[in-house]
């Protein structure tokens, strides 16, 4: 990305939350942040990340969800382009399979590794709560605008 100071906040700023309160990132947004100018080159990284996912005995369709996006191509005409709804794990795999010469790749690797670890710790702690404590915890997250 040109002359934009990249930090962890940029990944948070493009994070989406779906109707089931699951976090996801869109591939075309991640592509720009990671400094890939051409979709075809970024799609090669996605293909490698999908292979890593499969080799880890994970279902790729749980982490790389095909979504079509309509874009304007001029004269009030639109075209469908491929995009992906990516889980945190998918983003981590993309960062791991990206061009290691790019500083933004190193930043993404660190960000997604740290965030994944935080979620693992949170899940362990959450599972130890009583049902009443879980309800209170959920209520507090909702007040803060954080979804689980």
| pLDDT tens, residue by residue, 87-129 | 999 999 999 999 988 889 988 988 888 777 677 667 667 677 7
Task: Using pLDDT thresholds of 50, 70 and 90, give the confidence band for residue 70.
Answer: confident
Evaluate whether residue 1 is within a structural domain: no
Alpha-carbon gap, residue 113 to 117, rounded angstroms: 6
Alpha-carbon gap, residue 138 to 134, rounded angstroms: 6
What rounded mean pLDDT belongs to the chain?
84
pLDDT of residue 1: 42
Give the DSSP letter of residue 37.
-
37-64 average pLDDT score: 95
pLDDT of residue 61: 93
Residue 50 pLDDT more than 50? yes
Evaluate whether residue 33 is within a structural domain: yes
- Predicted model pTM: 0.73
Evaluate whether residue 3 is within a structural domain: no
Domain of 137, in residue numbers: 8-144
pLDDT of residue 123: 65
Evaluate whether residue 27 is within a structural domain: yes
* Cβ within 8 Å of residue 85, ≥6 positions away: 16, 18, 24, 25, 26, 27, 64, 65, 67
pLDDT of residue 2: 39
Evaluate whether residue 101 is within a structural domain: yes
Evaluate whether residue 115 is within a structural domain: yes
pLDDT of residue 142: 56
Handedness of CA 52, 5, 83, 12 (dihedral sign): positive
What is the total count of domains within the chain? Answer: 1
pLDDT of residue 140: 63
pLDDT of residue 3: 37
**Buried residues in 119-129 as b, exposed as e (16+ CB within 10 A):** eeeeeeeeeee
pLDDT of residue 118: 72
Task: Using pLDDT thresholds of 50, 70 and 90, give the confidence band for residue 4.
Answer: very low
């Amino acid at each position: 990305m040109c002359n934009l100071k990249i930090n962890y906040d940029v990944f948070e700023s493009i994070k989406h939350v779906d109707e089931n309160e699951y976090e996801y990132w869109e591939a075309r947004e991640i592509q720009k942040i990671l400094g890939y100018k051409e979709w075809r080159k970024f799609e090669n990284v996605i293909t490698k990340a999908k292979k890593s996912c499969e080799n880890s005995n994970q279902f790729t369709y749980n982490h790389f969800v095909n979504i079509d996006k309509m874009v304007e191509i001029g004269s009030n005409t639109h075209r469908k382009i491929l995009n992906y709804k990516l889980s945190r794990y998918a983003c981590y795999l993309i960062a791991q399979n990206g061009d290691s010469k790019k500083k933004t790749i190193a930043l993404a690797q660190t960000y997604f590794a740290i965030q994944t670890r935080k979620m693992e710790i949170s899940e362990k702690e959450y599972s130890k709560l009583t049902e009443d404590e879980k309800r209170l915890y959920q209520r507090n997250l909702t007040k803060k605008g954080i979804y689980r």
